[in-house]
Amino acid sequence: MLKSSNLDSVIGELEADRTASGAVAAPENSVNSNNNVQVKADENGCNLAALQMSFGVLQIAEPPLVRVRAQLKELIGKQNKFYIDLSKEKYKLDCSEISKLFEMMNNVKHYKDRLMKIKKDMQTIYQRSKVLKKRAVNIAACKQRDYQRKLEKQQHEESLIGN
């Protein structure tokens, strides 16, 4: 979150320096008969021309600085509002992601149960098919033996008839 305390402290220091130097109040001018400004020293040791120059520069520069300060405060306020709104949206997304995660976990449980049931069914089918194959082999072997016996019996009968 942005803080405007740095801006306030810098501006506060500038205002403190300005009031301490006496630049707020216009210094007294002493003009002689030739309209020449006499140079006087005030109690801080600054001469009158330097004070008047700084006062003039301050009058020129202060309004834009005040306007910029107001714009900066407005900008910081908007940034803070935007940050708060962004944090709220992030929280909403986090909550929705958590609900999606719980839903996915429930789906995983459901699909795991289905997978285990299918696996069990496949194992049962495999065992049954294994037993059926074994039985089919035994039946085929029995049929083959029966067929062999029948052929032997027929050959035996033919040999008896032929003798």
Token couple for 24: 């707020």
Residue 9 binned pLDDT confidence (cut-offs 50, 70, 90): low
| Virtual torsion, Cα 101, 106, 107, 112, nearest 10 deg | 130
**pLDDT tens-digit map of 62-118:** 888 899 999 999 999 999 999 999 998 888 878 888 888 889 999 999 999 999 999
* pLDDT on residue 101: 84
- Average confidence score pLDDT of the chain: 80
* pLDDT on residue 51: 84
| DSSP summary character for residue 29 | P
* pLDDT on residue 7: 53
* pLDDT on residue 48: 84
C-alpha separations of 119 from 18, 105, 123 in Å: 86, 21, 6
* pLDDT on residue 124: 97
Q: What is the Cβ-side half-sphere exposure of residue 60, based on CA atoms within 13 angstroms?
A: 6
More confident residue, 80 or 38: 80
Residue 40 binned pLDDT confidence (cut-offs 50, 70, 90): very low
| DSSP summary character for residue 37 | B
* pLDDT on residue 160: 85
* pLDDT on residue 128: 97
Share of the chain above pLDDT 70, in %: 71
